[in-house]
Amino acid sequence: MSLSIFLELLLILSSLAQVSSSIHTRYTFQQCLSTIRTPGTLFTPKDPNYTLLLNSTAENLRCITPSNPKPQVIFTPLNEHHIQTAVICAKKLKIQLRFRSGGHDYEGISYTSAMDPPFVLIDLSKMRAINVDLDDSSVWVEAGATVGELYYRVAEKSKTHGVVGGLCTSLGVGGHFTGGAYGSMMRKYGLGVDNALDAKIVNARGEILDRKSMGEDVFWAIRGGGGGSYGVIVSWKLKLVSVPDTVTVFSVPRTLEQGATKILYKWQHVAPHIDDNLFMRVLIQNVNLPNTTKRTITTTYNALFLGGVDRLLQVTNQSFPELGLAKTDCFEMSWLESVMFIAGFPKTVPTTFLLTAKPAFLNYFKAKSDFVRTPIPKKGMEGIWKRFLQEETPFMIWNPYGGMMGRISESSTPFPHRNGVLFKIQYVNSWIVDDKEAMKKHYKWIRKLYKYMGEYVSKDPREAYVNYRDLDLGMNDKNGDNTSVVKASAWGRRYFKDNFRRLVKVKTEFDPDNFFRHEQSIPLAF
């Protein structure tokens, strides 16, 4: 037999083995779950609704292209006991599990896999109960609910209570809070995890644990240590915070021709130190100048102030007159309406849209993150503008820190980016077609920008935000079993700094078989 024929035969046999393994995975997992006997909860690739369900909450379209590995089975549990059964079955059958609550996962690891398939997806979208308790100033919310639904149900009960959480309203509660959960009230109240009171989690033995039974170490780890490493989050209990009857918002653009560089340079010195009630982020992108083909950079100051317009203008006129904020730029509204404004919805969209749980924007994208501890000089910003004008649709968001974020210790939760951080940068490069060459081109651009920014951002480690997961920083070994702590530190220290060591210790004690694992899950200590 010739070498070429032999290699071709090996390839065919390998393919057949994979097909056989996939069929076996589907059959045995379905067999094991047969005790649940609930129709409409199990979907295989042969089911007509499989693709619709798989794609339903996938925000990053590059993660659901035909070349991406797909789950052998999608299971949509209706309650925590269904999750218990799924975990017990998967562990017994040695099947890899992925868990999805909202689908905002930037690298899609909650519903696809770059590790060895086959795998099963536990989609939590049918678990979205929300129980608001004003007497206790708390709310229990299941993992499959979105933060938009959560905000709406709280506001439905009280106009003077809110929840600390994300700015994108289609974020799933389960995964969002495992990474920290920052939002427009972070400078006033800290992160979502700083306001988490309790949680329910299913461990690798299929047990449902609350804060008391999981222990304080595990409760610490799941509040910012990233999703998918310790168990399946079933629900969170969150503290309700006070919000005024009336809040004020604005969204003010400034182009290079209007002095954007000078204004943004001043913003870096002001935004982290201004009144705690003011969250003023900056959205940066390319635009065409009106009635021309010439492109420029626009910096849009998108803000929430927990108070009325008159007080807001006092604050900005005193601390940030360079912005030139006018009363006509500002809009007073309820806190719930401000959620819609900050998320970018037109004023004509009613707040009831939050109950649809639909993502507002879908595209192919690659994202990265940085934390800035010293102001970026004007020369550095000019280098950013030069690179932006060479690309099609680049986007950056600068989110201010300071306030309460600087008063909580780095070790209080796994999220370590606290005192001394001026702002966080999110880089996004997007495209609209499923094309490999386009992806390579846009990947190359964002990686070059990230390299350029290394001079101006945090160092040793160069910090990154775990909820903007970036597989460029490194990955676990294919099977997830043999990754060393040293190797995993390449991304672990960027996400968690010195808290990474404690996360490893908790992981080793709580999930010693490393059942819950993915491309950047916390490794075992040995």
Quick check: helix, strand or coil at residue 3?
A: helix
Phi-psi region of 424 (alpha: psi -120 to 50; beta: other; left: phi over 0): beta
Beta-carbon contacts of 253 under 8 Å, excluding residues fewer than 6 positions away, are 298, 299, 300, 301
Task: Evaluate the CA torsion angle 311, 313, 317, 323 in order and state its sign.
Answer: positive
What letter would DSSP give residue 289?
P
CB-based contacts of 36: which residues, under 8 Å, 6+ apart? 82, 85
Tokens of 96: 């890899």
What is the arrangement of strands in the sheet containing 247-255, beginning at the earlier edge strand?
A: 330-333, 247-255, 295-305, 278-288, 394-400, 423-431, 364-372
Angstrom distance (rounded) from CA 139 to CA 165:
13
Does residue 468 carry a catalytic annotation? yes
Catalytic residue among 106, 151, 230, 468: 468
Whether 26 and 72 have beta carbons less than 8 Å apart is answered as yes
Q: Is 446 exposed, middle or buried (0-12, 13-18, 19+ CB in 10 A)?
A: buried
- Tokens encoding 131: 């129980």
Residue at 500: amino acid letter: F
Rounded Cα–Cα distance for residues 185 and 263 (Å): 23
Q: At what angle do helices 436-453 and 378-388 cross, to 10 degrees?
A: 170
Tokens read off for 477 = 């070994």
Q: Determine how β-strand 247-255 pairs with β-strand 330-333.
A: antiparallel
Tokens of 473: 């920083």
| Integer Cα distance of 74 and 121 in angstroms | 5
**Distance, CA of 345 to CA of 353 (rounded, Å):** 10
Residues tagged active-site: 468
